Each structure stands twice: as C-alpha cells, then as structure tokens.
Amino acid sequence: MKKIIAGSSSPTLAKNLSLEMNVPIAEITIKRFPDGECYVRIHEKMDEAIIISNTYPNENIIELFLLQDAARKMGAEKISVIIPYYGYGRQDKVFEEGEAVSAEKIAKLIEQDADKIILVNPHKEHIINFFSVEAKICDGVPSIAEYFKGRVDAVIAPDKGALEMAKKASEIIDCEYNYFEKTRISSNEVRMEIKDMNVEGKKLLIIDDIISTGGTMIEAIELLNKQKAYEIYVSCIHGLFIENADERILKVGCKEIVTTDTIETVYSKVTVAKKIANLLKN
Ligand code: R5P
C-alpha cells in the first residue's frame, strides 16, 4: 500500500496532499534526543512511500535521511521524496575555487534512497540535474498569481533573477510586469530602478523565490513607496523570514505578505499540494 510520510517541516502540506491524492498518512514517531540527535520510527508496512520534508533547517536533512531508511526497512520498494523547500540550493556551482557545491552534495545523499524527486521552485532549475534519479520541478507561481487575480495592476521582480516568475504571474493575473534593474554608479553605489513603467497610484505585487532576511523586499518596497505606488503586496514561494523579516517588511508599508506552504507559516495562504499531486500522478 502507498503511504505519505510527513516530515516535521511539512505537516499541513502532507495533510493537503493526502486529501488531494486520497493516500493515507503513515503513523510515525519523530523525536529529538537531549543532545539534538534525531530518532524516527515508521509504524506501518508499505510498498510505496511519499516522503515530504524540507532540507532546511539542518536537522531536517538528517530527519529526511532517517525517514528514507525507515521507509525502505518497512518495505517501500518505491520512494518519492518531495522537498517543498530545497535548502542548500543557493550554492549551486563553484563561485570561488575550493567551495563545496552544497546543492549537488545534498542531492547525491538524498538519491541514495529515492526513486523520484520533486522540488518546489529550487533556487535554480538546473539543480534537478544533480539528481540521477527522476526529478521534477513543481512551480508555485501560478498558485500565488491566482490569489492576486483582479487585485493588482502590475507584478514586479526585485531583481532580474525573479523576472521569469514576475512574467508568469503577470500572464495569469493579466497585468503588466517589470523588474528592478541594478546599475553600478561607482564601486560602492548601486542604483535600482524600474525602467519604462510609471508605478504612481498603482497596486503592485512584488514576487521572489525566497524571502530570507527581507533585505531585498524592503529595498524594493522603499523604492516603490518613493515613486508613490498606491498599494504594495509581497509574495514569495519560500518564506524563511529570518529575524522577524516579516514584521520589518510589513512596517515599511507592505499591505499583505503571501507565500506558499513550502515553509509553513501564517503567511502560507496558498498551497502547492494539488500541483505536487498532479506531478506524482503523471
Ligand atoms: C536571491 O538570489 C534570491 O532570489 C532572493 O532574492 C534572496 O534570497 C532574498 O534574500 P533576502 O530576503 O535576505 O534579501
């Protein structure tokens, strides 16, 4: 029988996936010992396992490895690993000689006990090529765009890296899109500006893949405020919100923050469960 195994990072997403797929959630125990080590036990036999776990923060990586091991030991011949937020994905190549490529190393470790992988919006698409087993990308942008349909006049990417996301969201919302272009003025001065778009009086949605410290979003909001934007909404796929980044973002004049449920917080207003279910079915 097929079972869903919910890692401790993703209880709600696992529940939603279970409802979408009509696949039960297995009874498991996950404990942390006083020294921080992880213990997992799966209480049911299965022939197929769908494990959902982030590789963030660090302790969830070990938890995932142990869940994979336990699933094999309980009979799973096929293991699909769903990684809503692929932590360690930002180091996706050698930028400077001597660096480890964390996105690749973590992939090699996970695939030891996996037959299929699904990553939700990894930081760079080529990361799925680090897996030698079947690996697919689930895109959370349409879910965010649906939420904002009819509510904004334009979608803005805070940098060129998020431009494709902004374009895709704008096509679904049926509105304009643009991005902040960075021009280096001098060695310590960078100018950020939106070219060919007047944002005055407009309702804007800023979209990015990750909000970590919030620095990128705060800078973008402040610039749009200066240009007299009417309302600013902030969205991302993975809301890490390091050191109360959410509160700081709201404080500079953001009307609402919306993220997917890859990292479960109060801002997880849209789910990627249906998209993951479709990828698992095909
Ligand atoms: C960068 O490449 C990412 O797409 C995000 O823009 C970045 O991770 C956001 O980080 P922070 O919230 O710390 O500015």
Query: Could you tell me the distance, in angstroms and rounded to a whole number, from the CA of residue 272 to the centre of ligand 1?
Result: 21
Does this model's pTM top 0.85? My answer is yes
CB pairs under 8 A, 24+ apart, for 167-171?
168/139, 168/141, 168/142, 169/141, 169/142, 169/144, 169/145, 169/205, 169/207, 170/145, 171/145
Closest protein CA for atom 8 of ligand 1: 210
64 neighbors 72 (Cβ within 8 angstroms): no
CA-closest candidate to residue 32, choices 58, 5, 71, 50 = 58
Mutate to test the pocket of ligand 1, among 56, 179, 206, 209 (most ligand atoms within 8 A of CB): 209
pLDDT of residue 193: 85
Instruction: Say if ligand 1 is within 6 A of residue 142 CB.
Output: no
Question: How far does CA 226 lie from the centroid of its chain?
Answer: 30
Phi-psi region of 75 (alpha: psi -120 to 50; beta: other; left: phi over 0): left
Q: Return the pLDDT at 192.
A: 82
Q: 198 CA to middle of ligand 1, Å?
A: 25
Nearest CA to ligand 1 atom 2: 161
d(CA 17, CA 7) in angstroms, rounded, equals 13
Active site residue 3: no
Question: Closest ligand 1 atom to the C-alpha of 213?
Answer: 13
pLDDT tens by residue, the chain, 282 residues: 999 999 999 999 999 999 999 999 999 999 999 999 999 999 999 999 999 999 999 999 999 999 999 999 999 999 999 999 999 999 999 999 999 999 999 999 999 999 999 999 999 999 999 999 999 999 999 999 999 999 999 999 999 999 999 999 999 999 999 999 877 777 777 778 888 899 999 999 999 999 999 999 999 999 999 999 999 999 999 999 999 999 999 999 999 999 999 999 999 999 999 999 999 987
Question: What pLDDT does residue 225 have?
Answer: 96
Q: From CA 48, how far away is CA 75, in angstroms rounded?
A: 8
Any ligand 1 atom below 6 A from CB of 164: no
Tokens read off for 26: 């297995």
CA of 11 to the centre of ligand 1 (A): 25
Give the distance (Å) from ligand 1 centre to CA of residue 176.
23
CA distance linking residue 49 with residue 77, whole number of Å: 8
Ligand 1 pocket member 87 (CB < 6 A): no
The strand pairing partners of 176, in sequence order, are: 154
In this prediction, residue 282 carries a pLDDT of 75
The preferred substitution site among 206, 212, 246 for testing ligand 1, maximizing ligand atoms within 8 Å of CB, is 212
CA of 159 to the centre of ligand 1 (A): 9
pLDDT value at residue 258: 98
Nearest protein CA to atom 3 of ligand 1, as residue: 210
- CB atoms under 10 Å from CB of 21, counted, come to 18
pLDDT attached to residue 191: 77
Q: Please tell me the predicted confidence (pLDDT) of residue 189.
A: 74
**Ligand 1 contact via 212 beta carbon (within 6 Å):** yes
